[in-house]
């Protein structure tokens, strides 16, 4: 029986479980929102809330303790500056768990969003890559010409191939045929029908 034994085990040993909680807590603090299973979200919520409370104290000892628990300078900096200021008047409950209707593909686990309360609007859209200035000039110069989709491949294969350089196709074909032994010609393994003596 597990009377008065707190916390879920998740089928992991202690070090694996602690590392998982550390990684997930760091992700919540950095990105302010993660999607995970409901059970993991409820356990990680405890870790994140304690870290934010530690960050609100602002002492050097608390900063060392926070680094020991997160092992990330960026997370510690955010805890003791941005989040400490944001949650200065809040007495607790810095995170929320919102259940998601879609279940995970594969094992049909219940999913949830673990997020920090009062976070700024998150922009989750993918941003298009900005072209480098030199590349942008090249693209502008090619606007007049019809766009050649296979130009890169043509450039790659325009020179002589390095494989079999200096040999004609007939020589290469003869060499490959001579080097290859078929079972009928006496080559191959024991099961392929070659001679055994």
* Banded model confidence at residue 197, pLDDT cuts 50, 70, 90: low
| pLDDT higher than 90, residue 161 | no
Number of domains in the chain: 1
Asked, for residue 24, whether it belongs to a domain, the answer is yes
Distance CA 1, CA 4 (A): 9
pLDDT, position 71: 97
Least trusted range by pLDDT, from 21-30, 61-70, 85-94, 158-167? 158-167
Asked, for residue 125, whether it belongs to a domain, the answer is no
pTM of the model: 0.63
| pLDDT higher than 80, residue 125 | no
Q: Provide the CATH number for the domain around residue 50.
A: 3.90.1030.10
What is the span of the domain harbouring residue 22? Answer: 14-116
Asked, for residue 78, whether it belongs to a domain, the answer is yes
Residues 56-69 pLDDT 10s: 999 999 999 999 99
Asked, for residue 176, whether it belongs to a domain, the answer is no
Which string of DSSP letters, residue by residue, matches the chain? --TT--S--TT--HHHHHHHHHHHHHHHHHHSEEEEEHHHHHHHHHHHHHHHHHHHH--HHHHHHHHHHH--HHHHHHIIIIIHHHTSS--S--EEEEEESSPPTTT---EEEEEETTPPPP--SPPPPPPPHHHHHHHHHTSSSPP-TTHHHHHHHSS--STTTT--HHHHHHHHHHH---GGGT-S-GGGT----
- Virtual CA dihedral for 134, 138, 139, 145, nearest 10 degrees? 180
Residues 13-48 pLDDT 10s: 999 999 999 999 999 999 999 999 999 999 999 999
111-116 sheet: strands from edge to edge: 33-37, 111-116, 95-100
| pLDDT higher than 70, residue 132 | no
- Non-local (6+) Cβ contacts of 34 within 8 A are 24, 27, 28, 41, 113, 114, 115
| pLDDT higher than 90, residue 146 | no
Asked, for residue 175, whether it belongs to a domain, the answer is no
Asked, for residue 122, whether it belongs to a domain, the answer is no
* Banded model confidence at residue 188, pLDDT cuts 50, 70, 90: low
Asked, for residue 183, whether it belongs to a domain, the answer is no
Query: In 3D, which of 35, 23, 5 has the Cα closest to residue 110?
Result: 35
Asked, for residue 52, whether it belongs to a domain, the answer is yes
């Amino acid at each position: 029986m597990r009377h008065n034994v707190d916390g879920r085990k998740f089928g992991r040993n202690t070090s694996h479980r602690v590392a998982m909680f550390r990684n997930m807590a760091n992700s919540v603090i950095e990105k302010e929102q993660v999607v995970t299973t409901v059970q993991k979200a409820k356990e990680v919520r405890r870790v994140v809330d304690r870290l934010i409370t530690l960050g609100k104290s602002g002492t050097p000892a608390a900063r060392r303790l926070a680094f020991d628990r997160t092992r990330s300078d960026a997370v510690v900096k955010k805890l003791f500056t941005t989040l400490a200021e944001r949650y200065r008047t809040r007495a607790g409950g810095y995170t929320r768990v919102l259940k998601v209707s879609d279940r995970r593909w594969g094992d049909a686990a219940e999913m949830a969003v673990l997020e920090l309360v009062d976070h700024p609007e998150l922009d989750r859209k993918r941003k298009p890559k900005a072209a480098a200035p030199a590349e942008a000039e090249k693209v502008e110069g090619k606007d007049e010409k019809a766009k050649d989709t296979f130009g890169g491949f043509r450039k790659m294969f325009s020179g002589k191939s390095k494989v079999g350089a200096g040999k004609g196709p007939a020589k290469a074909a003869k060499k490959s045929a001579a080097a290859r032994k078929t079972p009928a010609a006496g080559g191959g393994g024991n099961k392929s029908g070659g001679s055994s003596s």
